[in-house]
Structure 1
Amino acid sequence: MSSAEPGSARVTRADRLTPAEVADVLALARVAGDTDGAAPFDEHVLLRLRDPDAPAVHLVSRAGDGTLTGYAHLDTSDPADGIGVELVVHPAQRRRGTGRSLARGVVEAATGPVRAWAHGDHPSAAALAVDLGFARARVLWQLRRSLAAPLPEPHLPDGVVLRAFQPGVDDAAWLTLNARAFAEHPEQGRWTHDDLRVRLAEPWFDPEGFLLAVEESTGRLVGFHWTKVHERPGSTPMGEVYVLGVDPSAHRGGLGRALTTAGLAYLRDRRGLDRVMLYVDESNTGAVALYERSGFLRWAAHVNYQRG
């Protein structure tokens, strides 16, 4: 399949990318992220790009000289739930029809509902979504805070202690807790052993920064704060509240706030970081309130558009 608008590059479709093509896409994503202040792909897409067996459709836009001008990733792993889409256009190639050609290619390639993320909530993405019949369905906030300000001592509920995650030992128990804590979440609550395994193998994984709240009398996991550190050459490292969850049976006991504080202290005192970010659904008002009470401020919005 190929499509193009007058003056735009040609869009071609592939079911697999070569390692060289993947490298080109990742380089394009870095340039776009540096320009826009928001990475065009989330972690899920980046992991799938590195997995040649991940079911996906790749739409690639190249200029006449072969230069990569744009790319769209279609996650086809669960068609019944909808095709997940993320799209990027090289900053120097914008306003030339490339994004519209890619978006139309997405509509042509999709056989069911489509869910597309616009990272940074750009007006151009909103206009394109309206033109192609997409509706704004979900907003994910990126919040940030400085770690220079004082942090309170974490006050754990009676009978609860913190310890580090033990790979190969805690996997099954953590997956069960994660599913309970995020039962209503469209992505996080569905994690499998493979999803966990891939992330435990990532270069950034640090078991000491994966804090588990454990019921001392039974050993049962009741909460966790998994931290992450983003490191890129030429930029200041930044911490992340990667995933924070509390078992529903332990809600309203202050455990979420204690876990938040403990993770922030780890990133500051053990990893030497001075800033931290996190992502949270706008609709999760309880979590938004918790993080804002913990000193986080809204930094950027990521919008999910749906069609069909």
Structure 2
Amino acid sequence: MSSTEPTGDAGRGAAEVAPADRLTPDEVTEVLALARAAGDADGADPLDEHVLLRLRDPAAPAVHLTARTPGGALTGYAHLDTTAPADGVGVELVVHPAHRRRGTGRALARAVLAAATGPVRAWAHGDHPSAAALAVDLGFTRARVLWQLRRPLTAALAEPSLPEGVELRAFRPGEDDEAWLAVNNAAFAQHPEQGRWTLDDLRVRLGESWFDRAGFLLAVESGTGRLLGFHWTKVHERPGSAPIGEVYVLGVDPSAHRGGLGRVLTAAGLTYLRDRRGLDRVMLYVDESNTGAVALYERTGFARWSAHVNYQLG
């Protein structure tokens, strides 16, 4: 949720909210422009990668709620992911900065609750107090926190030193897909999103303009070629802002734990982003509850930058 709304009824009736199963290409363009404006104002993008990918896929099942002025200008948007009904409806909501404090976020939230048929899980990117207040008013509880950590790449980096019998190479699309997916899903078996990836989830990202094969590093067993771990890096480039790298996904096969491979892969990816991509800063996301990973990253020089909160109802 990205919303700055009054907690009373001052904005009641200010927004006309309409549901749709599909958005036209022009409507998708409007939503993306609204999200960019909100991200620029708030310092945190209001829609995560999963939603952005689904917006660009006209066949992806979802419920779209749009709020507009009487003149038709888009003032707010909510995305309802209904693909996993047993886990509830995933929601992301954003209000244009120029149309806040007029009841639009509240109107969208009420429309979300009217449209949802089961439990609701809503992300508040940036953990804004206004989003927290709206969540409390509507009966949501704070269920999960995702930290964004950052560190400079200008500071000293550990030298990646691979364990004996381990080699580092780049990912090979079309050849490594299934082996990578197996290790990823094993490494993130308890993760509510990452551990459920399918080949389609992987391949749609391999087709993205940001995908860089050389920055998708695999640690493999010498001789057998068995995949032991990986560090998939990403570079975010946005007009008007300096690019920033990301530890996109870092994982080690459970059978290869306790050998220090996670630290080596972290160092290798950071070195790649600094030396090969010329970046001076990097970020990553990690669950607050994953205290081991948080400690590892903090020892590697990362510090907390922002929080993203998942609220649940039902």
**TM-score, structure 2 as length reference:** 0.96
- Report the secondary structure of 1:28's partner residue: helix
Query: What whole-Å deviation, never above 9, does each CA across 1:211-258 have from its counterpart, x for those lacking one?
Result: 000011321101000000001122111000000000111112110000
Quote the residue 1:118 is aligned against: 124
- Alignment-derived partner of residue 272 in structure 2: 266
Give the stretch that moved more between structures: 16-25 or 126-135.
126-135
Instruction: Give the equivalent residue in structure 2 for 1:278.
Output: 284
Task: Report the residue type matching 2:12 in the other structure.
Answer: P
1:44 aligns with 2:53: no
Q: Greater CA deviation, 288-297 or 152-161?
A: 152-161
Residue in structure 2 matched with residue 89 of structure 1 by the alignment: 95
The aligned residue for residue 190 of structure 2 is: 184
Q: State how far apart, in whole Å, the 1-side matches of 2:231 and 2:130 are.
A: 36
Equivalent in the alignment of 1:63: 69
In structure 2, the residue matched to 1:145 is 151
Matches within 5 A, 1:222-261: 222-261=228-267
Structure 1 residue ranges without an equivalent (≥5): none
The residue aligned with 2:294 is 288
Unaligned runs of 5+ in 2: 1-9
What's the offset of the Cα at 1:66?
0.8
Q: Which runs of 4+ in 1 moved over 2 A?
A: 4-7
Tell me what 2:171 maps to. 165
Local SS of the residue matching 2:122: strand
- Of residues 215, 219, 228, the one that matches 1:209 is 215
Aligned mates of 2:86, 2:262 — CA distance in 1: 34
Distance 2:229 2:183 in 1: 7
User: How many Å apart are 1:106 and its aligned residue?
Assistant: 0.4
Contact map agreement 2:12 2:107 (CA 8 A) in 1 = no
- Whole-Å Cα distance in 1 between the matches of residues 145 and 80 of structure 2? 20
Q: Is the 8 A contact 2:169 2:217 kept in 1?
A: yes
Look up the match of 2:35: 29
Cα distance in 2 for residues equivalent to 1:171 and 1:6: 50
1:108 has 2:118 as partner: no
TM-score by length of 1: 0.98
| Paired amino acid for 1:232 | R
- Distance (Å, rounded) in 2 between the aligned partners of 1:126 and 1:8: 21
Letter in 1 for 2:111: G
Matched, 1:303 2:285: no
Counting aligned pairs with the same residue, the percent is: 80
Structural RMSD (CA) = 1.0
Is the Cα contact below 8 Å between 2:77 and 2:93 reproduced in 1? yes
- How far apart are residue 55 of structure 1 and its match? 0.6
Deviations 1:277-296, CA, capped at 9 Å, x for gaps: 00000011111111101100
Q: Equivalents in 1 of 2:99, 2:257: separation in Å?
A: 49
Bigger mean CA deviation after superposition, 227-236 or 32-41: 227-236
In the alignment of these two chains, the number of paired residues is: 305
- Give the counterpart letter for 1:142 in structure 2: Q
